[in-house]
Structure 1
Amino acid sequence: MKVDRVLREFVEECKKRFGENLVSVVLFGSYARGEQKKTSDLDLLVVVKDLPMVWSERKKQFEEICESLSKKYGKFIEVIPITTKELRKNLNKKSPFFITFVLGHKIVFDDGTFKKEFEKFSLELSKKNFVYYEGGRKWEIKKEALKYLH
């Protein structure tokens, strides 16, 4: 399976569905860190300017795209859909979910918003002494965050 091909098709389908409202598509998790296994899914953060408030309604907007690509490529796709406002709010609160993004992520599509907001977030994290543990591994978040500052 060619991950880049799946990601490219995913972005194209999202552009068709959301048009100018599509802000960012970001790969995170094991594939972004290069630690994927045969059974790993593709974890995607999708930032859209406006989404329904109800989580199940949000997820429904991506069902057809994910199911189609999953069947075509034999790889499950997990989407976390959020709005631009929620992205900023979670980064400002230093959400543990986003702290893991300093361990590795790949911007697949971006209008500049994610990159800009994540750089501000990384700058803040570089001033803290957070430690993240997962699967018996330990990461110094301050050191990891410095990689995203230019």
Structure 2
Amino acid sequence: MAKILPNWLAVKYFRLLSLFGLLPFTVEDAKAALNSEKAPLFLHKMYSYGWVDKVERGVYRVVHPFVALMEASGWAWRSRVKNRDRLPVLEAAVSKLFEALGSKLESIVLFGSLSTGKPKPESDIDLLVVARDLPDKYSERTSIIREVISSRLMDEIILHIWREKGIYADLDILLIDVKEAIVTHPFYLDLTKDCVIIYDKNGLMSRTITEVREKLERIGAKRFEEPDGSWYWVLSPEVEKIRSLEI
């Protein structure tokens, strides 16, 4: 979990952010940027406070300031994402979602292969986003999603990850209203096994996922995984029990 930076270190953090954005940089880059041979010490301090990440030996990157503040406020989620390569995209997306939806934003949940820790290079980053008072028209919701995913920062990060890692970290955002979120959707079954709750202002998705998990346990539902990594659910041989899921 991140902690608030002391002022003297915040100045150095902002210098790195202004020069490198969310892209990786070396210790030598940091020495030049900060004009100091003590840059390794500064980076170690920022890392211990949760404001920079270690990419590999001698290579760091700045954590998005909004996300660092979010974690310092108690919403710590980055450590639960096992595949760190896509974290810069996630951080930028979370910040843009708050910017686009403001106080209407209720929940952000990471699901799909990235939440399981088994993404393929071409796997999307799947986000369930719940907000209040969304427009009913699909086209209007799409424009909100476009506002989140279409930015120079996002394009820069995705292109860098593709060039350096061969990973296309595309975002796939499912934006739904609170009224729609409380309905049990089929993909909620997988959320009971694998998901990362990034933000949940009033606990809506935490409660919903818990309720679905309890229903699955009550009817004896099980998820079976195939050797290729795919899976399927066997709910129950008893029809009346399956109906209780209201899917």
TM range (shorter): 0.7 to 0.9
The 5 Å alignment of 1:28-47 reads: 28-47=111-130
The one-letter code sitting in structure 2 at the alignment partner of 1:78 is: D
Pick aligned residue for 2:156 from 58, 67, 72: 72
Measure how far apart 1:141 and its partner are: 6.9
Question: How many aligned positions are there?
Answer: 138
Pick aligned residue for 1:127 from 218, 222, 225: 218
Distance 1:130 1:12, change over 3 A: same
Aligned Cα RMSD in Å?
2.4
Moved more, 7-16 or 77-86: 7-16
Contact in 2 for aligned 1:102/1:141 (Cα 8 Å): no
Moved more, 69-78 or 24-33: 69-78
- For normalisation by structure 2, the TM-score amounts to 0.50
Please name the residue that 2:206 is paired with: 115
Q: Answer 1 or 2: higher relative contact order, Cα 8 Å, separation at least 6.
A: 1
Measure how far apart 1:37 and its partner are: 1.1
Pick aligned residue for 2:178 from 84, 98, 101: 84
Long gaps (5+) in structure 1: 143-150
- 2:194 aligned with 1:104, yes or no? yes
Using the alignment, how far apart are the partners of 1:3 and 1:98 within structure 2?
A: 23
The one-letter code sitting in structure 2 at the alignment partner of 1:85 is: K
SS at match of 1:103: coil
Query: What is the identity percentage for the equivalent residue pairs of Structure 1 and Structure 2?
Result: 30
Contact in 2 for aligned 1:126/1:141 (Cα 8 Å): no
Contact in 1 for aligned 2:131/2:178 (Cα 8 Å): yes
Using the alignment, how far apart are the partners of 2:120 and 2:218 within structure 1?
A: 33
SS at match of 2:179: helix
Measure how far apart 1:140 and its partner are: 6.2
Which protein has the larger Cα radius of gyration, Structure 1 or Structure 2? Answer: 2
Using the alignment, how far apart are the partners of 2:188 and 2:99 within structure 1?
A: 27
Q: Residues 17-74 of structure 1, C-alpha deviation per residue, up to 9 Å, x if partnerless? A: 2111100111100000111011111000000012111222212111122132641222
Using the alignment, how far apart are the partners of 2:154 and 2:124 within structure 1?
A: 10
Using the alignment, how far apart are the partners of 1:12 and 1:41 within structure 2?
A: 18
Using the alignment, how far apart are the partners of 1:114 and 1:133 within structure 2?
A: 24
Using the alignment, how far apart are the partners of 1:136 and 1:121 within structure 2?
A: 21
Moved more, 8-17 or 76-85: 8-17
Using the alignment, how far apart are the partners of 2:98 and 2:119 within structure 1?
A: 27
Please name the residue that 1:11 is paired with: 94
